[in-house]
Structure 1
């Protein structure tokens, strides 16, 4: 397997951490690549286990969902940074039996993009990608302002889901959210573009023009960076994998993977 050596990684290695990884396997091995789902800040593996994990396995793809350090059932990591999150993604992907497809959501898409510069993925999928920078803070001042002073990025059900999802279900999901480390939040708001993917894998960008967290123009900008146009699902919220019409984006992603 191709390896990318970086001096900083050797001189200042990322501390090891226990990582939560959930999985669902198809009934028969069809030779399809494993799909690794990476949740965004405050989210954990459960957001994919709710719908997308089993659905992906039913489509014949071995499916895995991880929690970044400090999230879900992974080890606590109050001082983790984006480099540590990207390291987690690359390490979990490298542990899978075949070259994986990395699917990152939200700020997890930024961690996935950094991991794609280190791990030769079969393909990459960036869902509702939050690549940070000043535009993120300006679009969501009430969410981002507390993070500038060490608080958590606060996300409500109204910001995450469409009106099609029952409000009680949306509130239940929102209450399960945790937080990323302070340093990682600061780095997200500062904005640092990832390097180009190693091995030039195909990259698909997915989003919604009605996303209240990331503007449609930001999604299109990320798609242009990877040489394509985004696949958009009007009427859906930021957390496409939990929203009422969750089947539409994951089926479109898997259809694309079968042709990529």
Structure 2
């Protein structure tokens, strides 16, 4: 992986200003621990981390923040958003935190975090169920859910079924409530995931952890391995969980493992 100094497209067409939603939870003990910034994937907002992981991370002693990408959650609308706009949002929020942050991205938000790490010198990065795009991802989703996936190729909404996001251990009514909160993703940002993205190398070579489930029905095991190899490691796996690890029935297991890892690298 290499890092580019100049990005002419971003200079020629810079991201437009937008209101950004950022939620936070602080440790009761205060202190100067490394802040953790959670970045949700496509269709999700900060609420997806505020449900469980935000407070739990603060209880583990880390100042915790969760943001919504533009056009998601409580952030401002952005019908023409692109990947580079999301990366800009993350780097701006991270730079506003009191100390060098850990970035935790989920799904396509993991790709955004990987791209942001080439611009912002993170303390560490965590990529949860990372969606780095490519035809393998597209065809995999098409095969499992053609009616919900095919419209995305033409600028329509990709609708993931609750069975693709959660394990059977999560009560059906709860899974349905979460699935109904997912928002439409701009067509341009969706189409960018049709080809596999190759993020530039992180600034300063920080430690990077890849987390996922071998039973994820959105991200294949081979895709998890591919992303983990790019950062010199192997994925930390949680069998029996769905794609949305932060909302699934056993949500505490992965966030505790992430916190344990952060305590070793901070």
User: Is TM > 0.5 for Structure 1 vs Structure 2?
Assistant: yes
Aligned twin of 1:205: 210
Answering whether residue 165 of structure 2 is matched by residue 160 of structure 1, we say yes
User: Displacement, 1:112?
Assistant: 0.7
User: Displacement, 1:225?
Assistant: 0.5
Whole-angstrom distance in 1 between the partners of 2:207 and 2:54: 21
Aligned twin of 1:248: 253
Q: Secondary structure at the match of 2:37?
A: strand
Q: Secondary structure at the match of 1:140?
A: helix
Please, which runs of 5 or more residues in structure 1 have no aligned partner?
Answer: none
Whole-angstrom distance in 2 between the partners of 1:218 and 1:30: 38
Cα deviation digits, residues 50-75 of structure 1 (max 9, x gap): 00000000111000000000001100
Aligned twin of 1:105: 106
TM-score if structure 1 supplies the norm length?
0.96
Q: Number of matched residues? A: 257
Q: 2:149–2:160: 8 Å Cα contact kept in structure 1? A: no
Whole-angstrom distance in 1 between the partners of 2:243 and 2:12: 38
Aligned twin of 1:196: 201
**Alignment equivalent of 1:146, drawn from 142, 151, 163:** 151
Cα deviation digits, residues 214-253 of structure 1 (max 9, x gap): 1011011100000000000000000000000000000000
Whole-angstrom distance in 1 between the partners of 2:231 and 2:248: 26
Whole-angstrom distance in 1 between the partners of 2:164 and 2:226: 21
Moved more, 190-199 or 236-245: 190-199
Q: 1:137–1:145: 8 Å Cα contact kept in structure 2? A: no
User: Displacement, 1:31?
Assistant: 2.1
Identify if the C-alpha distance between structure 1 residues 216 and 7 changes in structure 2 by more than 3 Å, giving closer, same or farther: closer
TM-score if structure 2 supplies the norm length?
0.94
Whole-angstrom distance in 2 between the partners of 1:153 and 1:258: 37
Aligned twin of 1:219: 224
Please, which runs of 5 or more residues in structure 2 have no aligned partner?
Answer: none
The structure 1 segments of at least 4 consecutive aligned residues displaced by more than 6 Å after TM superposition are none
Answering whether residue 38 of structure 2 is matched by residue 33 of structure 1, we say no
Identify if the C-alpha distance between structure 1 residues 7 and 241 changes in structure 2 by more than 3 Å, giving closer, same or farther: closer
Q: 2:37–2:66: 8 Å Cα contact kept in structure 1? A: yes
Whole-angstrom distance in 2 between the partners of 1:159 and 1:7: 36
Whole-angstrom distance in 1 between the partners of 2:16 and 2:227: 30
User: Displacement, 1:6?
Assistant: 3.2
Moved more, 132-141 or 24-33: 24-33
Whole-angstrom distance in 2 between the partners of 1:67 and 1:238: 18
Aligned twin of 2:24: 23
Cα deviation digits, residues 134-157 of structure 1 (max 9, x gap): 001110112432100111111111
Whole-angstrom distance in 1 between the partners of 2:70 and 2:61: 28
Q: 1:207–1:230: 8 Å Cα contact kept in structure 2? A: yes
